[in-house]
Amino acid sequence: MSSDTETLENFTSQDYKYGFTVDIEADELPTGLNEEIIRALSAKKDEPEFMLEWRLKAYKKWLTMKSPEWAFLEIEPIDYQGLKYYSAPKQKAELKSLDEVDPKLLETYERLGIPLEEQKRLAGVAVDAVFDSVSIATTYKEELHKAGVIFCSISEAVREHPELVKKYLGSVVPYTDNYFATLNSAVFSDGTFVYVPKGVQCPLELSTYFRINAQNTGQFERTLIIADEGSSVSYLEGCTAPMRDENQLHAAVVELVALEGSQIKYSTIQNWYPGDKSGKGGIYNFVTKRGVAEENAKISWTQVETGSAITWKYPSCILKGDNSVGEFYSVAITNNKQQADTGTKMIHIGKNTKSTIISKGISAGTAQNSYRGLVKVLRGADNARNFSQCDSMLMGDKCGAHTFPYIEVDNPTAQVEHEATTSKIGEDQLFYCNQRGISTEDAIGMIVHGFCKEVLNELPMEFALEARQLLAISLEGSVG
């Protein structure tokens, strides 16, 4: 087992240490952040005036803000002037074939069942011209077009559908929202835009994989999904394979607009580089995700978080309309020196609103895993109901699990339930499995999967299996 961990860690650290050297690309803006940079960024993207103004307002606001310190995280100060805010297309040193890729990395891809061409993309190998990714994407686009669904990059949406962007961008997460969201509003690089028209059930599972140029969304990703009245859509972001990424700071914003009677299901699998065993390197993931549900609408967040050195993320639902429903299903795994402070906010405004929170936190190594959740029932939210269940699992005795539930109820007819458990994956359990002939790796996978079942069941089918294997790999060598 320990040799497995070493291999796994070796390959991740190696990759990031010297595997990929970045060619300096001509189309870049200088390092640092100021008004000029933002103007230049907006100009390069050929954005309409309203977009630039919005970015500048956000930037001015950001200058007056301070990085939040309330989370249960230890964060090294970030040098915002030391970052580059525009570099497109972000050129990474392309490898010529899979032969040049670290075999350990390939082995992991194989174990995760990643198709060969996808492996190339992830490892940064030039994809063959023969590969029909374009044709897949084209077929895909045609089908969506027929249904009237708009699915494109946010940059494209800003240019092609300014009326929708203008109406909804910042309507859920205003540019003044918080330090990281405000920074994102000023400098967002790219991201996804989805619009599903009235009454349309989106015919396909939308995933970033099928969006051309999805690879290089950069570190300030912006996503906006609008489900018009009576429509429904399921969107999956991320990938179970270790992503090659040199950016240390990721500050994304996701806004979901669920209009009357619509449904949005948003699933995330996040497996960014967590840093090496000593905590060096690794990605800081500071994300603001929020949705507004109008009358009879439903928003469902499902997340499997196994990567990043630091995760700061609280996908939230504002249950504005009567009878609206919010759900949050989360698995967060932290190993070695990883830190996660994640949870959700359910804000009940409308009558008969319902929310469900199922959070599973798994800690191994010396990692810290915190659940932080707010359930707020406003005065007018008659008969609001919430059920929260937060379970933590510890592996070994050097890690930590913490639960910070905040419950604010302003309506006497509301029903709010909170359950929390902490358990330990025991030597006993592993020995029991071993004694039946089951390897430790499979045993951990099995036990962790059993623990997370309610959440994994919420994932789209094709990702459930990958997620299961990912859990096992993320925790390898953490016991015994």
Partner 1 sequence: MMLKISNLQARIEEKEIIKGLNLEIKPGETHAIMGVNGSGKSTLANVLGGREEYEVTGGSVEFLGKDLLEMDPEERAREGLFLAFQYPVELPGVLISYFLRTAYNAIREHRGEAAVQVREFNKLIQEKSKLLQLSPELLKRSVNEGFSGGEKKRNEIFQMAILEPKLCILDETDSGLDIDALQIVSEGVNTLKQEDPERSFLLITHYQRLLNYIVPDYVHVMIDGKIVKSGGKELALELEEKGYSAFQSSSAA
CB-nearer residue toward partner 1: 2 or 135: 2
439/446 Cα distance (integer angstroms) = 10
Which element (helix H / strand E) includes 429?
Answer: helix 427-434
257/164 Cα distance (integer angstroms) = 11
Task: Report in angstroms how near the CB of residue 438 gets to partner 1 at its nearest.
Answer: 5
CB-nearer residue toward partner 1: 4 or 53: 4
Task: Report in angstroms how near the CB of residue 187 gets to partner 1 at its nearest.
Answer: 43
CB-nearer residue toward partner 1: 216 or 457: 457
CB-nearer residue toward partner 1: 415 or 423: 423
CB-nearer residue toward partner 1: 112 or 455: 455
Task: Report in angstroms how near the CB of residue 450 gets to partner 1 at its nearest.
Answer: 3
285/6 Cα distance (integer angstroms) = 24
Choosing from 438, 460, 464, 469, the residue that interacts with partner 1 (CB under 8 A) is: 438
CB-nearer residue toward partner 1: 187 or 332: 332
CB-nearer residue toward partner 1: 143 or 442: 442
336/364 Cα distance (integer angstroms) = 6
What would the 3-class secondary structure string for 132-175 be?
A: CHHHHHHHHHHHHHHHCCEEEEHHHHHHHCHHHHHHHCCCCCCC
Helices 461-475 and 103-112: crossing angle in degrees, nearest 10, is: 140
56-64, 123-131, 339-347, 437-445 -> range binding partner 1 (CB under 8 A): 437-445
CB-nearer residue toward partner 1: 185 or 363: 363
252/264 Cα distance (integer angstroms) = 19
141-200 residues near partner 1, rule: CB under 8 A:
none
Task: Report in angstroms how near the CB of residue 424 gets to partner 1 at its nearest.
Answer: 12
469/480 Cα distance (integer angstroms) = 19
Q: Sign of torsion, CA 49 53 59 62?
A: negative
443-472 residues near partner 1, rule: CB under 8 A:
446-447, 449-453
Task: Report in angstroms how near the CB of residue 440 gets to partner 1 at its nearest.
Answer: 7
480 binds partner 1 (CB under 8 A): yes
CB-nearer residue toward partner 1: 139 or 423: 423
What DSSP designation does 19 have?
A: I
9-17, 100-108, 173-181, 442-450 -> range binding partner 1 (CB under 8 A): 442-450
Task: Report in angstroms how near the CB of residue 44 gets to partner 1 at its nearest.
Answer: 50
340/343 Cα distance (integer angstroms) = 10
Say whether 387 sits in a helix, a strand or coil: strand
Q: By C-alpha distance, which of 387, 353, 357 is closest to 372?
A: 357
Task: Report in angstroms how near the CB of residue 479 gets to partner 1 at its nearest.
Answer: 11
397-436 residues near partner 1, rule: CB under 8 A:
423, 426-429, 431-436
Task: Report in angstroms how near the CB of residue 449 gets to partner 1 at its nearest.
Answer: 7
| Torsion of the alpha carbons at 58, 59, 60 and 62, rounded to the nearest 10 | 90
Q: Tell me the pairing of strands 249-250 and 206-207.
A: unpaired
**How far apart, in Å, are the Cα atoms of 87 and each of 40, 73, 287, 460, 466?**
12, 30, 21, 33, 32
Per-residue x/- track, 289-318, partner 1 (CB under 8 A): ------------------------------
Task: Report in angstroms how near the CB of residue 5 gets to partner 1 at its nearest.
Answer: 16
439 binds partner 1 (CB under 8 A): yes
| Site of interaction with partner 1 (CB under 8 A) | 423, 426-429, 431-440, 442, 446-447, 449-453, 480
